[in-house]
Amino acid sequence: MAGTAERMASNQKQVAISEFFEKNKHFLGFDSLTRSLITAVKEAVDNSLDACEEARILPDIRVELTKIDGKKDIVELKTEDNGPGIPQRSIEKVFGQLLFGSRFHAIRQSRGQQGIGITGVVMYSQLTTGRKTHVRSKIATEASAALVDIGLDTRKNKATKSNETREIWEHEDGTLKEHGLEVTTRMKGKYQRGRQSVYQYLRMTSIVNPHADITFIDPDGERHHWPRVTERLPTKVESIKPHPHGIHLGTLQRMCSESKDSRMTVFLRGNFSGVSSRAAKELLQAAEIDEKMKPKSLKPDHYRALLEAFQGERMINEKPVKLLNPPTNCLSPIEELLIKKGLSKTIDSKFVTTMTRSPTVTQGNPYQVEVGLIFGEGMLADKPVEVLRFANRVPLMYQQGGCLLTKAIESVDWRQYGLDQAGGRGVPKGPAAILVHLASTNVQFTSEAKEALADNAEVMEEVRKALLEMGRGLRKHLEKKKKMAKTQEKFELVNDIIPAIAEKSAQILGRPVPDLSGSITKIMGAVIAETTTTWNKETKQTDVSITLFNYTSRARAYTLLVSWPERDGAAMEHNDLGGRKEATGVWAWKLETLDPGQTFVITYSLSGLERGDWTDTDVFYRGSQEVIGASKMDEKILEEIRRLEAVAAAPEETEHDDMDDMEQNPASPEIPPPTGQQTLFGGGE
């Protein structure tokens, strides 16, 4: 038996990570010819976008697919960008070594994390065609571009390179390329059109990356172009320290064993976000650990006790230790106006609504939910709505049914918001597209292929809240449209029929036609608001006009309010009636008296926007009589906006010894351990 055991032990071998993925390439998304091609494009484009944003360069990306052998399904993929490029000495590590990257240990929002993506493309190309991947890279400080063919030694997880040289890189027009990267690779793949295609992936990418200019040449030679619609780069994200709520036992042990800190209080404050001087002392007190102990000297029981204090299982005075939320400068949301622009440039429709929720925390990881809905023309009314899922600005193309974002959409009863939905469950039907984007420092996927989000009750609830609020916006739009249509129909009938009757009666009686304005007013019995929002080509501004008609028999008094994109840098001009600011993005005018038959007109312009940024203005009112074409102001929502402004302008005061931590964690209120929904700035319904 001893000999058998030794023989069995001698057969045990360590498998290189690259060799493992070579035999299990489906883990990385290379499980079919169609999906393999999309995955290759995705990895190349994601790298280009990340590199450009990190270097603060507006991305120009070109993707070209060429059929090499139709019978054997061999295609060539060439991608080019204007990013910072890669130094020659680093090319072999970036393209030829799995798990090599700069983002795995960084806690911040990014498209890639593991350092697998583009090397997986090199590996798949080598596996299916036996060819190496050709890389051309130019950095700004060098006159020529580096060229090299990269392969992968899967046994050693190491690059193999050949044909290394340099050349002058010129554009098609003969001008020199300042910086950028070009990747050319051949692989087995199949190009198809439809909802799961390279075209659809690039289209979706352009929606959530409105700052990118993307060109695609398909295998038939057809050119597709999605121009950038904004010159504004996404907010630059900063790496943050881990938060105690998201720490696991093994991670805590490693951090302590590698620490060079002289005492535990210094270790806790220096290595975690959200831990103030007071919190550090209370955590150690709850865990029964001496403040003066060195992290390296902790025993297994100490680790468990400290982790229990992190999670609120050990308390001080029967209360869990309060911690600050992690800072949110590690997140870069798309923002409402840019989501609207991105949707509008790819889908033609009249109504678009978007919203960005306040940053939230789950298990110590900051995240933020954004949603958008486009409704109306150009989409089929008898088919399921188009679902557009994104994580950290990356489209999710597969496994829609098993994704948390889809489940959140299906959990909403869309019938009450104007869409068809059998039994109030499942993806609704209607002429609409629904977009959901999750921005997070730690996106939890269902697999390494990163195609669907894993279940998380807190994230699910946050997405649901965003969808419900967006749904209410759609319902208001449809109700407003319906009421206006009915009123317009009634008004046209009254204006056609009553004058005709009056004229005929006057002829019969031989009397003059009477003044009918008072009679028409009594019949209509409504106050109507008509709003137009148009782009002025000459002034390069958005002109807004609101006309209030009093078709009732008595005088009315109102306060009219409008929403406007103040947070997006717009300025209100030519506002001759003045009024006052009620909250950020909300302006009001008070009308003391509107007599029967009288009209009241408000006009102003919005500067600082581009064409298509602002196409619809929401009008609200205060007053006893309903205004058709406007919504009654919800004072609770207005009060909530003011409260959030106050929180942002005046962060909570903390003890004197917490001030250093407040500088590290701006506008971060204290939070208890994770027992449910935690939000940084309120973020309620």
At residue 337, the 3 state secondary structure works out as helix
Q: Which residues span the domain enclosing 563?
A: 518-633
At which of 421, 454, 476 does a domain end? 476
Model pLDDT, residue 231: 86
> Are residues 253 and 401 part of one domain?
no
- CA 266 to CA 594: how far, in whole Å? 67
Instruction: Report yes or no on 491 lying in a domain.
Output: no
pLDDT by residue (tens digit) across 150-185? 888 877 777 788 899 999 998 888 899 999 999 999
User: Which of 270, 291, 265 has its CA nearest to residue 280?
Assistant: 265
User: Which of 225, 232, 179, 185 has its CA nearest to residue 51?
Assistant: 179
In sequence order, which residues have a C-beta less than 8 Å from that of residue 669 and are 6 or more positions away? Answer: 324, 325, 647, 651, 652, 680
Instruction: Report yes or no on 412 lying in a domain.
Output: yes
> Are residues 578 and 459 part of one domain?
no
At which of 476, 498, 528 does a domain end? 476
Model pLDDT, residue 174: 84
Contact criterion met (CB below 8 Å) for 390 and 437 = yes
> Are residues 406 and 551 part of one domain?
no
- Whole-structure pTM value: 0.69
Model pLDDT, residue 28: 62
> Are residues 276 and 163 part of one domain?
no
Which CATH number characterizes residue 255's domain?
1.10.8.50
Give CA 290 to chain center in angstroms: 44
Q: Identify residue 168 by its one-letter amino acid code.
A: I
Instruction: Report yes or no on 380 lying in a domain.
Output: yes
Encoded tokens for 78: 């060439």
Query: What is the biggest distance separating any 2 CA atoms in the chain, rounded to whole angstroms?
Result: 126
Model pLDDT, residue 116: 59
Strand ranges in 115-157 using DSSP code E only, listed in sequence order: 133-138, 145-153
DSSP 22-52: HHTGGGGT-SSHHHHHHHHHHHHHHHHHHHH
| CB half-sphere exposure, 423, CA atoms < 13 A | 5
List per-block mean pLDDT (blocks of 10 residues) for the chain, which spans 685 residues: 62 50 57 86 89 92 92 92 91 69 53 61 86 93 92 78 91 89 92 86 90 94 90 82 84 88 90 88 90 89 90 86 83 80 68 82 83 79 87 86 91 88 85 89 78 89 90 79 68 70 79 69 75 91 92 87 86 92 90 87 91 82 85 79 69 43 44 36 29
Tally the domains of the chain. 4
Instruction: Report yes or no on 235 lying in a domain.
Output: no
Which CATH number characterizes residue 125's domain?
3.30.565.10
> Are residues 370 and 305 part of one domain?
no
CB atoms within 10 A of CB 292: 10
Encoded tokens for 502: 């009056």
> Are residues 280 and 260 part of one domain?
yes
User: Which of 76, 10, 80, 9 has its CA nearest to residue 45?
Assistant: 80
> Are residues 313 and 275 part of one domain?
yes
> Are residues 359 and 291 part of one domain?
no
> Are residues 171 and 69 part of one domain?
yes
DSSP 417-478: GT-B-GGG-SS-BSSEEEEEEEEESS--BSSTT--SBPP-HHHHHHHHHHHHHHHHHHHHHH
3-state percent helix, strand, coil for the chain, nearest multiple of 5: 35, 25, 40
Instruction: Report yes or no on 490 lying in a domain.
Output: no
> Are residues 471 and 343 part of one domain?
yes
Instruction: Report yes or no on 330 lying in a domain.
Output: no
**Measured between alpha carbons, how far is residue 23 from residues 121, 124, 285, 543 in Å?**
14, 11, 50, 61
> Are residues 156 and 45 part of one domain?
yes
At residue 5, the 3 state secondary structure works out as helix
Instruction: Report yes or no on 319 lying in a domain.
Output: yes
Encoded tokens for 88: 């020659």
Encoded tokens for 489: 């129909």
At residue 605, the 3 state secondary structure works out as strand
Instruction: Report yes or no on 89 lying in a domain.
Output: yes
> Are residues 187 and 39 part of one domain?
yes
